[in-house]
């Protein structure tokens, strides 16, 4: 059978130019995780952009997987010269404005963040899991990755050393929950990590009052912490996935007159802790600027920490232009004991 995915016309012109190639790479990862052997290509029909592939009839599990594709607008089954629309609306746990409304300089595209989540899940041992996963972003900034995870009904843990960014993410989350009248509780607490106190803001929430009363909840933890403490922060809530957009080396500058730690040195400290934090079967997805951190170097650092980098098809093909000083790519890796 022939299937077509109509791609959403993205508002960002740079991302729009790359969306067919990125969407095809993402779709290949998703199809492989579903055990579907299919060639993916892009085409144009009636002036709209599509991805096409042919395979046996898709079951409900496969359709549910494809509904979450980051760039899917509509899904069709092709019958001769006609297109029969299939249900493609992803089942959202929280409203789609959660990751979209908060704007700031250097924010990662929510579409690309959703792509990273999809590819990490597809690579992991939890691709067929129907319950909520837990996602860790150890360099979360203002928590876009966390908000994308919550949107789809997953738990999220964000850590960063930028206290103002975390305060803004906290204030935005509180306002969003109040605006949508979502039952929740917020706690400010301190975790003792290696003899030091780590401030943590914890949200427990649900999509409906009924679910909240039944204990069917999700959580968000925002931790003011160095990325190398991730394993200690997640001891009671280990993540299935680690997804992070690494600093590009363009907008990040010395803070309070202090020279920043060389980025490779930071990764060498942090990656072993990320490995220890991750559940067996878990996956790591890191986006990065190839102009400041070559792909081969990041692959080597990830492997040194114990991860197994995934190379070759379908785990490559994500390199794309963002702006003059940023050429972004994505590395996906697994725990060695997966």
In the chain, the percentage of residues whose pLDDT exceeds 70 is 93
195 pLDDT above the threshold of 90: no
Residue 43 three-state SS: strand
The answer to whether the CB of 334 falls within 8 A of the CB of 279 is no
- How does 243-256 read in b/e, with b if 16+ C-beta sit within 10 Å? bbbbbbbeeeeeee
Determine the pLDDT at residue 254.
40
Close Cβ partners of 120 (under 8 Å, ≥ 6 residues apart)? 241, 242, 243, 283, 284, 285, 332
**How many other CB atoms are there within 10 angstroms of residue 160's CB atom?**
22
3-state secondary structure 292-314: CCCHHHHHHHHHHCCEEECCCCC
Collapse the DSSP code of 325 into the 3-class scheme (helix H, G, I; strand E, B; otherwise coil) and give the result. coil
> What is the model's pLDDT at position 250?
43
Beta strands 241-245 and 283-289, pairing class: parallel
User: For residue 30, which of 106, 112, 124, 111 has the smallest C-alpha distance?
Assistant: 124
- Structure confidence by residue, pLDDT tens digits, 280-335: 999 999 999 999 999 999 999 999 999 999 999 999 999 999 888 899 999 999 99
Condensed to tens digits (0 to 9), the pLDDT of residues 12-62 reads: 666 667 899 999 999 999 999 999 999 999 999 988 999 999 999 998 888
Rounded CA gap, 278 and 158, in Å?
Answer: 14
What is the mean predicted confidence (pLDDT) over 255-281?
85
Report the SS3 class of residue 168: helix
pLDDT tens column, 104-153 = 887 888 999 999 999 999 999 999 898 999 999 999 999 999 999 999 99
Query: Burial level of 235, CB count in 10 A (0-12/13-18/19+)?
Result: exposed
Contact present, 279 and 240 (Cβ < 8 Å):
yes
What pLDDT was estimated at residue 46?
87
Q: Are strands 2-7 and 326-335 parallel, antiparallel or unpaired?
A: unpaired
Query: What does the pLDDT read at residue 251?
Result: 41
């Amino acid at each position: 059978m022939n299937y077509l995915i109509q791609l959403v016309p993205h508002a960002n012109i740079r991302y729009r130019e790359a969306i067919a190639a990125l969407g095809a790479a993402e779709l290949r990862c998703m199809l492989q995780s579903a055990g579907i052997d299919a060639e993916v290509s892009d085409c144009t029909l009636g002036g709209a952009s599509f991805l096409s592939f042919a395979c046996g009839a898709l079951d409900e599990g496969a359709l549910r997987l494809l509904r979450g594709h980051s760039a899917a607008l509509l899904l069709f089954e092709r019958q001769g010269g006609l297109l029969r629309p299939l249900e493609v609306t992803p089942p959202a746990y929280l409203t789609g404005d959660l990751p979209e409304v908060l704007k700031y300089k250097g924010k990662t595209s929510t579409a690309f963040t959703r792509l990273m989540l999809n590819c990490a899940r597809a690579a992991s041992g939890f691709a067929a899991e129907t319950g909520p996963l837990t996602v860790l972003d150890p360099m979360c900034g203002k928590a876009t990755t966390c908000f994308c995870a919550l949107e789809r009904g997953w738990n999220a843990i964000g850590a960063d050393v930028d206290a103002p960014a975390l305060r803004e993410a906290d204030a935005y989350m509180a306002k969003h929950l109040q605006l949508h009248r979502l039952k929740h509780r917020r706690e400010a607490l301190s975790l003792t990590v290696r003899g030091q106190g780590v401030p943590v803001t914890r949200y427990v929430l649900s999509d409906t009052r009924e679910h909240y009363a039944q204990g069917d909840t999700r959580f968000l933890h925002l931790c003011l912490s160095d990325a190398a403490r991730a394993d200690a922060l997640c001891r009671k809530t280990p993540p299935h996935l680690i997804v992070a957009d690494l600093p590009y080396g363009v907008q990040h500058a010395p803070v309070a007159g202090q020279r920043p730690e060389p980025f490779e040195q930071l990764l060498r400290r942090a990656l072993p802790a990320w490995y220890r934090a991750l559940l067996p079967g878990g996956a790591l997805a890191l986006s990065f600027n190839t102009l400041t951190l070559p792909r081969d170097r990041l692959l080597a650092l990830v492997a040194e920490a114990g991860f197994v980098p995934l190379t070759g098809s379908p785990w490559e093909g994500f390199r794309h232009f963002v702006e003059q000083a940023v050429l972004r790519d994505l590395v996906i890796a697994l725990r060695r004991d997966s």
